[in-house]
Amino acid sequence: MDPLTRLKEGNSYFINHNKMDGDYSYNIRKDKKENGQHPFAVVITCSDSRVVPEAIFNASLAELFVIRVAGNVVGEYELSSVVYALDHLKTDTVLVLGHTNCGAIGAALSSHDAGLASPLVNKIRGVISSCKSEEEATKINVLNTLKEVKNYIKSEPSLINTKFYGAIYEIDSGKVNFL
């Protein structure tokens, strides 16, 4: 099954059963220790504690390579982590997952000083400055992060077949809407 279908079916299971059924047993932990990880997708998402990709996509241990940072923005460390997963772990799919009610997006839409969080908030502000709603800002922010990831890896010929997706997770319903 292709990675996008796995993500969509995993989210459907999560919504319809109101739980996750991923395997985190001793046997799977032992197997992954001995045989290494082989995630089917990289997920760049927010560090918001309400956004748990393994649950949202009903994934088992080592199936997702998750990179979390407030506002699902990327810098050199996050981008290097993506390349590690694509190149070293042979993952070929990247999903940027934004979400509703994101505090980083809310902060960027406000006119308040973000204090020590200013570098992150200002990065988002620069991307969403013309947005009128949280919904629009979330979508634009996801699409911008996708663009940054694509631009970062486009010069690496071995990663040419990477597939990229964007999506927004609805905190209240549990549904993931792919863009």
Per the confidence metrics, is the pTM higher than 0.85? Answer: yes
Evaluate if residue 111 carries a pLDDT over 90. no
CATH architecture type of domain 3-178: 3-Layer(aba) Sandwich (3.40)
- Residue 59 DSSP class: P
Domain spans in the chain, listed from the N-terminal domain onward:
3-178
Helix (H) or strand (E) holding 130: none
What is the model's pLDDT at position 116? 87
Segment 83-101 shows an average pLDDT of: 97
Segment 96-110 shows an average pLDDT of: 96
Evaluate if residue 139 carries a pLDDT over 90. yes
pLDDT confidence bin for 36, thresholds 50/70/90: very high
What is the model's pLDDT at position 112? 87
pLDDT tens digits, one per residue of 8-30: 999 999 999 988 888 899 999 99
Q: What are the angstrom distances between the C-alpha of 62 and each of 25, 42, 66, 97, 171?
A: 12, 11, 10, 18, 24
b/e map 63-100, b = 16+ CB within 10 Å = bbbbbbbbbbbbeeebbebbeebbeebebbbbbbbbbb
Bridge partners of residue 93, in order along the sequence: 163
pLDDT tens digits, one per residue of 112-132: 888 888 999 999 999 999 998
Evaluate if residue 56 carries a pLDDT over 90. yes
The two structure tokens encoding residue 134: 């949280």
What is the model's pLDDT at position 18? 86
Evaluate if residue 155 carries a pLDDT over 90. no
Which of 8, 153, 177, 4 lies closest to 82, judged by CA?
153
CA 149 to chain centre: 12
